[in-house]
Structure 1
């Protein structure tokens, strides 16, 4: 009994810290959403902090734990206040950018709740008494005991944390580097681990930026960008003065177009509109770790995604010559429309950076029907029709759909589309989801046609990324009844639909040029006679090359596919491997330079410097 009493007396600060901090984390989790699954990793993160505290002598240990408690409590209170407005968790990128905080500043008084500050109660009233008690006892622990405690806590904490991080990385391979769903990370790993990960990612990204760009490198980048400009001849200026309506469709993959299941078309409405438009049937997604946000980033900037992580998070402080800003300089009104929460993928920061006049996010839509992640495409597109009606022409409207988002498991709400033998499979659920979205897109485009909007508008519609992951490739190959399952055949299936609809269907047909999301902005510049500055893509109507470059260094065109992972070249038409030639080596060098220069532009915020040079 005396030993227990002695232990409690000697380590009252440690016991109190673990108990109170874990209690705060669990109560905080209930306010955010159900965080029960984060208990074990949250405890592990607390153990790591305790292990560090045990290195110090009694007074130093108590002070260290007090500081940790203060920091954790402040983060919790900040998260809660931020979550009430944005339904997200605060991050370093948000603090650096400042835009989101400015947006919420006027509402802070309404967001504050006295109960939130109860998280600070122990810091002010209880811990000082504990620290005073420990000081008065003046008990000293030997170095051997302190080191032993450090080792026990650190090993247990790191072991549990490693398992938790590894499990999450397997479940969502891109999540830990991109941080695109901060709430989910905190739910899975606990708030302490989330904030440590956020700080680590931010510091790592900034270290990469510290290496200065030499004058020669900067001039090489300027020269490369200048050489990348397209020579605009075909359809130059055809869209001047007209509206641009751009629609990015979630997980719209090319194989569903003009395909049927159980005797019924999967995308009858898109098939119909494709026949009325210029359809690019060799169009590839080029996203990397940033997924949907990468597609948005490329489409609006014609710069490649970040080499690691997501540009929307890592480079939110950069300057951009983005499409919305370009249109604004021509007197256009610009707006982004998406029915999900504004802070997801850091959109409310990046859209301001791009130059959008307005962002109609979750708060701008009636949340009257939810499917999958959030507001249904039916409700989103129906409400968006009304928003477009109220926009002053000419305008650039950028819409992003949501319902067809992986894992396509809200099957009871997709309607009664019969997928036959594929019922219950991932590809079957996807076909139901994309059939639903197709129906809503048909309604949307038909309504714009009916109310006269399309008479003065160009519509660009494309898919953002793959729908079927590679670990489910057998389902896709089986559906398509593809004999070969080679890397080349898989790469060919990574096409996404892209079509451009012109007023009065003045331009239409199937265009076989090889292109990707990097090429949309230069193509728009040609159609609307916008300035083509600091872009690495090509104009699809005036291509000097048909190369499509992927973030990992692979590329494809009408003749050849290069797989960078295997360092193998394939003949696109025969599927046979081909030997490396001097021409192909030069192509590979060009690709690596292009990706490398794009990385330099992002890491060192070179658009700002490029703009300064132009204005001299």
Structure 2
């Protein structure tokens, strides 16, 4: 046993003696496993966890910088609010039910696109006739993948720079869309047809305002596809659950079927594709997206049949990219090379669709990010309170200028700043501030202090 332990720790100890910097947090899990082995990774991960259990204490200088940043943001909002693009929509959803659908791996380039004469997303396309459609919204997830998307859209904070907020800080205080809706008298419920422990959602959801969370154990497993219960079955079964929730309600759905590696069984493949395309990752993605589009269409019809559609605002968006390999898109979809800027502008964005049968069609090509969802929905739902709630997002229906920051993570190798005219790789210190301050707020649980100060005022 002693010989085994010596052999196990010899290489990691040798690596550390050459380069002590190697254990610092800039290295991710895969790098630690490469350098230190599986056991070494778990030891270092445990050390990191215990170290982070000691709450980060902000300096007075850091606190002042955070307060000043939010003060500048509030001033900017007050100036631009007079020139809102859609001022007539403020409070459109007041007293209506709110239904958010976070669609796994949904990218915007499939919307309003056809292949072999077949619409890829006919149901989502149809919704655009009565929807605010924003095609230039960027995913801003880091290590937490889908959970990061949930965190961004629910709190208007950026994810932490390393790891997943859902695992690292599930019991912090957060100002969230769910909590705001609860304060407005809404009954909140979340649906995801996987285990409650997946991405630690069962622990995190109460902290962002969801006291009721329907997981795979609450559904009948009558149709399993890929990682869990099919999206179609989840939507079908959820209708009866929704009818039991007292109005008004806020329902949050996270889909699952359109998940990598996109190996949808043949009987669920709707589109007729060439064999080579159908058997490729690109073909699997298109078929999987088309399936999810179909069941969302059926869900909308079920809401209508049960008298829930007209009095609901439905918000649909993607959590992150599904096809991240440019060569796959070039080979099977565009049939021609895609430049760096075209890739970032046309293939990285996710769609944001805000639908109600009484809305007029509104195509809004403003650039934004997932972090902007909460203030935009707050505006549409007529939620009371100050315009800024210590979030880093902006109402997408205010002003003319739009931009997004893509943090360094699994989807981009370095941070990007994107607006209508520029794509910046080495972004300025000023633009990096919101990433830094968001990280400090989460790691120190400083939102608890900020919200208590707001309450006192």
Could you say whether these structures have the same fold, taking a TM-score greater than 0.5 normalized by the shorter chain as the test?
yes
**Aligned-pair distance for 1:613?**
1.9
2:352, 2:219 → 1: CA distance?
27
Aligned to 1:314: 168
Establish whether residue 418 from structure 1 lines up as the match of residue 280 from structure 2: no
Contact in 1 for aligned 2:112/2:121 (Cα 8 Å): yes
Q: Which has the bigger relative contact order, CA under 8 A and spacing at least 6?
A: 2
Aligned to 2:128: 274
Aligned to 2:297: 442
Establish whether residue 505 from structure 1 lines up as the match of residue 339 from structure 2: no
**Aligned-pair distance for 1:387?**
1.5
Establish whether residue 608 from structure 1 lines up as the match of residue 455 from structure 2: no
Aligned to 1:256: 110
Change over 3 Å in CA distance of 1:528–1:460 after alignment to 2: same
**Aligned-pair distance for 1:543?**
3.5
Structure 1 residues 414-423 or 555-564, which shifts more?
A: 414-423
Residues 528-550 of structure 1: CA deviation (Å, up to 9, x unaligned): 22234111101011136401111
Q: 2:50 aligns with which of 197, 200, 203?
A: 203
Residues 84-139 of structure 1: CA deviation (Å, up to 9, x unaligned): xxxxxxxxxxxxxxxxxxxxxxxxxxxxxxxxxxxxxxxxxxxxxxxxxxxxxxxx
Aligned to 1:581: none
2:264, 2:90 → 1: CA distance?
44
1:605, 1:460 → 2: CA distance?
29
Aligned to 1:35: none
1:213-612 aligned within 5 A: 213-229=58-74, 230-231=77-78, 232=81, 234=87, 235-420=89-274, 421-469=276-324, 472-481=325-334, 483-492=336-345, 493-502=347-356, 504-530=357-383, 531=385, 532-543=388-399, 545-552=401-408, 553-564=415-426, 588-612=428-452
Q: Which has the larger radius of gyration?
A: 1
Change over 3 Å in CA distance of 1:539–1:156 after alignment to 2: closer
Contact in 1 for aligned 2:116/2:273 (Cα 8 Å): yes
2:368 is paired with a residue whose SS is strand
2:234 is paired with a residue whose SS is helix
1:148-167 aligned within 5 A: 152=7, 154-155=9-10
Contact in 1 for aligned 2:140/2:407 (Cα 8 Å): yes
The alignment covers a number of residue pairs equal to 421
**Aligned-pair distance for 1:276?**
2.4
Change over 3 Å in CA distance of 1:158–1:423 after alignment to 2: farther
1:43-54 aligned within 5 A: 47=4, 50-51=5-6
Contact in 2 for aligned 1:414/1:436 (Cα 8 Å): yes
Unaligned runs of 5+ in 1: 1-13, 19-46, 52-151, 160-172, 179-184, 568-587
Residues 393-437 of structure 1: CA deviation (Å, up to 9, x unaligned): 111110000000011124335335222141211101111111111
TM normalised by structure 2 equals 0.86
2:393, 2:298 → 1: CA distance?
32
Change over 3 Å in CA distance of 1:193–1:155 after alignment to 2: closer
TM normalised by structure 1 equals 0.64
Contact in 2 for aligned 1:247/1:460 (Cα 8 Å): yes
Unaligned runs of 5+ in 2: 15-26, 409-414
Change over 3 Å in CA distance of 1:415–1:270 after alignment to 2: same
Contact in 2 for aligned 1:316/1:350 (Cα 8 Å): yes
